[in-house]
Amino acid sequence: MAAAKYHSVASPFPRYQEIFTSTNRRRIGGWRVNVCKAKLSDSNAKKANLSARKKERIMLPNYGDDGNGGKNIHHISEFIGHPCGIEAILNTRALRNYQYLGSNVYRCTLPQIQLLSFEVAPVLDLRVTPTTEDCIVEMLSCKFAGSEAVEQQNEHFSASMRNHITWQTIDAEPFLNVDVKLDLVLEIYTQPFTFLPISSVEAPGNIMMQALVDRLVPLLVQQLLQDYEEWVCKQQGSFTMELQR
């Protein structure tokens, strides 16, 4: 999937040296993390709460039975529990890189994008929990990697995401269900936004987030099904080779 292009606009952020007094570095679990101390009072800051949700249902292909009247031998649950399925859920083809952190958590670095007047690389920590009944993808962390000024903005927002993937049979037809919910909390600390009601930020922000989710979720589902089909073909090819030996 092609990376989205973001056009540059004038930055609403004030001078960073006027906001931040110091930046310390700590090691947490072997990872070096920036800890920024701000002059702003977190308790007095306005916060805008944005959210978007998208549900998608799509019919699954049936790749045949075991030849003895059994059920589908390449069920979607088998694929999602396989390492190839995990890579498909993470959409690793669209990532700059990713690494396994342990406990079903993966650190995913997206390609750099132009955000406002900065180049940033979003870094997501995702927990993928597959079972025989469903798969839950949770975003544990969302940060911007880039210059010091860019990374300082991580102190002014937080994001969470939950993607619940299930499968079911309706009238003998298999279906895949995807339920994605994205939440974002933004600290409002720059003029003139501090003088405006929070609703003036939340209303357009919710519209933009919903449009983004409405566009991305169907694309991700289609990519997941394509990866599923490729995996099934490989499994069938391996099975055929075993029979020919």
Q: What is the pLDDT along the chain (245 residues), one digit of tens a residue?
A: 344 333 333 333 333 333 333 334 434 344 443 333 333 345 578 899 999 999 999 999 887 654 444 455 789 999 999 999 999 999 999 999 999 999 999 999 999 887 667 788 999 999 999 999 999 999 999 998 888 888 888 888 999 999 999 999 999 899 999 999 999 999 988 888 888 899 999 999 999 999 999 999 999 999 999 999 999 998 877 655 555 55
Distances (CA, A) of 160 to 3, 37, 55, 58, 194: 21, 23, 17, 25, 24
| Domain map (residue ranges) of the chain | 16-244
Topology of domain 16-244, CATH: Alpha-D-Glucose-1,6-Bisphosphate; Chain A, domain 4 (3.30.530)
Two tokens, residue 12 = 């609403």
> What values do phi and psi take at 233, rounded to 5?
-60, -40
Matching residue, tokens 């916060």: 47
pTM: 0.75
Matching residue, tokens 């589902």: 221
